Structure 1
Amino acid sequence: MNILPSVLLSLFALFCTIVAVQVFYYLFFFRRLAAYKPSQKAETQEYPVSIIICARDEAHNLAKNLPGILVQGYRTSHEIIVVNDNSKDESKYLLDEFKKSFKNLIPVQLSQEAKLIPGKKFPLSMGIKTARYEIVLLTDADCMPASEFWLQKMQDAYQPGIDIVLGYGAYHKMPGILNKLIRFETFHSALQYFSFALAGLPYMGVGRNLSYKKALFFNNKGFSSINQIPGGDDDLFINMVANKKNTAIVIDPETYTLSSPKKTWKEWWRQKNRHYSAARYYKPKHKFLLGLYSLTHAMLYPLLIVALFYNWWIALSVYGVRLLLQSFIWYKSMKKLQEVDLWPMFLLFDIWMFVYYFLFVPALWKKPKQHWN
């Protein structure tokens, strides 16, 4: 008995099922970002805000990016707290010089390491503890606001019931395939966490552009439950405290922060491994939904090749439905996040994701490094 036809039929059915799952994700989740239009507010408000930046040996980044934060066009009370975490470069002297011209700059000097609390959580906790205002807005030393209205528009997303505001941390556009891959991966990640938040399932934010309330931080005992994990000061904390009612997103281009991307494959590899090492600690429902999406995405192309041998025109038709839907939603979403120059390569990026998932799956089980910079 020839079992090959029955095996091909089973694999073809699995291929169709995987495409159906992918279509579900695009129609139920990702279309939300593609179609997102922020609600018009009758009036805006300006809350006092504490901007917090943690830096270790980043004098060069502070010199380049801090001025864009210090000169934000914001009339209401605000402060810029820079936690200088055991830096051995000239960061302290640089901050002292900035302090002479900007009285709302608050340097916090840390001269001792926090034992048994790896990563960035201790300096960030000290920054939040120092903050005078209820709303804190977080970014990194290597980030520059896209406009002078970053602060104003990020805090404007707060309204009754909102405790968390998720922003977009973009990367500068530069020549080269690595830059495009980094920017695409950043877009793809944002497509997921923004869309999930809009669907009432917020699961992460990025520390390059994130805001929440001090009360939320202290009512949940800060990072105490994740202090033993080197990463996660942004995504794991948000995963722990966010819900469908207390989270808002902001995708106005004037609210983006811009960072310089990694310039070598080795640096990028380390960065991505560090990020994915924290994903294992997400809530089970988030791990399931994200894992199912990644698994079906990774299996799509190998099964497409097999399905072609069973019935090529049906296989291509099924794949084409998913591809057309994906291309439309990616285009609309890339346009909203100012990454539309990546769209002509969307098919190559989609195939690249098959390789990407297999490259970084081991990071889910690999023990993360204990330092944050």
Structure 2
Amino acid sequence: MLTILVAFVLIGLINLCYYLGFLKFAFAKNENPPVYKNLPVSLIICAKNEAENLKNFLPVILSQDHPDFEVVVINDASIDETLEVLEDFQLHDPRLKIVDVQNNEAFWANKKYAITLGIKKAKKPYLLFTDADCRPESNQWLKEMSAHFEEKKSIVLGYGGYFIQNRSLLNKIIRFETLFTAIQYFSYAGWGKPYMGVGRNLAYTSEEFFAQNGFATHLHIKSGDDDLFVNQAANKTNTALCFSPLGITRSVPKTDFKSWFTQKRRHVSIASHYKIEHQFMLGLFYTTQLLFWIFFFILLFGPFWQAALGLLALRWIVQGMVFYNSGKKFGEEDLFWIFPFLELFLISAQLIIFIANIISKPTHWK
């Protein structure tokens, strides 16, 4: 039992070091209001069977307070009324450009091929990406994200959250997982090791895209148009962070566990294609989280239960500061009160997902 205690303490301290590192982001103050440069921006949206979401959210996109932008929407071989909806919007707003991908073209790496066509269609040098089911939190979203482009900053990472659904446990799990992921990729970028971004709120220059040969290095992987591109292209000097409340987007969350589980399987499978150093850092973090709880429950029923509770209390204090302050940045404060339960659920779900992905490959873009 003493050996388990020693291992528990070492694992707990390693895991705690990560959370202490996350505190830097959690307590980081939003910058002074950025200088809105009014850079020419192309908003790019890939839509597959998104007619209803486009009706709801495209008006918000088109009402952004910015003097020089266009919206490029790719209809990725939809079988619903997506194209008709887009054509109707285009009649009333010439800033909307449509790229129509036909079924006989869809085999070309699916979504990545469609996005590449959209980027080639774009006339503006600064590209901002979101999804068809996303709504910006404000009409300043475009200005906030694009304001972080500078001479050496060609990639901007933003926060893409989900709409709140009261009295829904699944909704809290989804939003907690999203918040937790954001804490990590914002923190890693702050440490000079950016490793991913989310396509719900991501920006980069067309120059950066073509300098990286687009998605060429991972075109054979159906998913990962956002995080694999960032993993490949981002570094400590060319990546900026936008965590202003005005620069957030919200998406429609999954409404059943099966759909969410399938989505998470796709996301987890992509992580195996990250750079080795990122795989190691992320793997060590998750492993120490999992082992921490395994050893804790073993020690809880032995002579060292007080030591186990003491380290747990210390860890909860640091975690609480991370989740509370980060949650305030992104409007997710309600998750703080149940973060211990949500963490345990997420660790368990990730373990099941890892096992499921070993047994069979997950499906991809719609």
Range class of TM-score, shorter chain: over 0.9
The change in CA–CA distance for 1:363 and 1:52 in structure 2 (over 3 A counts) is: farther
- In the alignment, what sits opposite 1:166? 157
Counterpart of 1:33 in structure 2 is 25
CA shift, 1:115, in A, is: 6.4
Kindly provide the amino acid, as one letter, of the partner of residue 253 in structure 2: P
Q: What are the ranges of 5 or more consecutive residues in structure 1 without an aligned counterpart?
A: 1-7
Matched, 1:88 2:82: no
- Matched to 1:125, the amino acid is T
Q: Which residue of 288, 302, 321 maps to 1:296?
A: 288
Q: Which residue of 2 aligns with 1:4?
A: none
* Cα deviation, residue 87, structure 1: 1.5
> Which one of 41, 48, 53 corresponds to residue 49 of structure 1?
41
Contact 1:301–1:354 under 8 Å retained in 2: no
Contact 2:65 2:140 in 1 (8 A): yes
- The answer (yes or no) to whether the contact 2:23–2:321 under 8 Å persists in 1 is no
> 1:367: which partner in 2?
361
Q: Of 124, 131, 141, which residue of structure 2 is paired with 1:133?
A: 124
Contact kept, 8 Å, 1:12 with 1:310, in 2: the verdict is no
User: Any idea what the Cα deviations from partners look like across 1:71-97, whole Å, max 9, x if unmatched?
Assistant: 11112x210001111112222221111
CA contact (8 A) 1:116 1:228 kept: no
Cα distance in 2, alignment partners of residues 315 and 259 from structure 1: 39
Q: Could you say what secondary structure the match of 2:124 adopts? A: coil
Alpha carbons of structure 1 residues 115 and 98: separation in structure 2 relative to 1, 3 Å: closer
Number of residue pairs matched by the alignment: 363
How far did residue 364 of structure 1 move?
5.1
2:341 corresponds, among 338, 348, 355, to 348
Secondary structure of 1:137's match? strand
CA-CA distance at 1:181 after TM superposition: 0.6
Q: For 1:87-112, what per-residue CA distance to the aligned partner results, in whole angstroms no more than 9, with x for missing partners?
A: 12222221111111111100111124
Structure 1 residue 116: Cα displacement: 5.2
- TM-score, normalization: structure 2? 0.96
Which structure 2 residues correspond to residues 3-82 of structure 1 after superposition, within 5 A?
8-28=1-21, 30-40=22-32, 43-75=35-67, 77-82=68-73
The counterpart of 1:245, out of the listed 203, 221, 237, is 237
Structure 1 vs Structure 2 CA RMSD: 1.5
Q: Counterparts of 1:187 and 1:237 in 2: how far apart (Å)? A: 21
* 2:222 aligned partner, one-letter code: P
1:181 to 164, 173, 176: 173
Distance in 2, matches of 1:351 and 1:272, equals 16
Deviation per CA, 1:163-198, whole angstroms, max 9, x where unpaired?
Answer: 100111111100310111111111111111111111
- Aligned counterpart in structure 1 of residue 308 of structure 2, from 315, 318, 329: 315
Contact 2:36/2:144, CA 8 A, preserved across alignment: no
Within the alignment, does 1:121 sit opposite 2:84 as a pair?
no
Match of 2:273 in 1: 281
Q: Aligned residue for 2:101?
A: 110
Query: More displaced, 42-51 or 318-327?
Result: 42-51
Contact 1:276–1:363 under 8 Å retained in 2: no
Deviations 1:208-248 (A, max 9, x none): 11000111111111011111111000001100110011111
Where does residue 195 of structure 1 map in the other structure? 187
Unaligned 5+ residue runs, structure 2?
Answer: none
Deviation of 1:283 (Å): 0.3
Deviation at 1:363, TM superposition (A): 5.2
The 1:118/1:363 distance shift into structure 2, 3 A limit, reads farther
Does the aligned pair in 1 maintain the 2:125–2:206 contact within 8 Å? yes
CA offsets 1:89-142 (integer angstroms, 9 cap, x no match): 222221111111111100111124446533310000000111111110000111
Percent identity, please: 39
CA distance in 1, matches of 2:355, 2:155: 31
Cα distance in structure 2, aligned partners of 1:193 and 1:40? 22
Using the alignment, how far apart are the partners of 1:43 and 1:198 within structure 2?
21
> What is the SS of the residue equivalent to 1:251?
coil
Q: Which moved more, 1:108-117 or 1:186-195?
A: 108-117
In the alignment, the residues of structure 2 paired with residue 135 and residue 79 of structure 1 have an alpha-carbon distance, to the nearest angstrom, of 11
Cα 1:115/1:148, change in 2 over 3 Å: closer
Q: Distance in 2 between matches of 1:354 and 1:368?
A: 19
Q: SS at 1:103's partner residue? A: coil
* Structure 1 residue 368: Cα displacement: 3.5
| Structure-2 separation of matches of 1:331 and 1:259 | 22
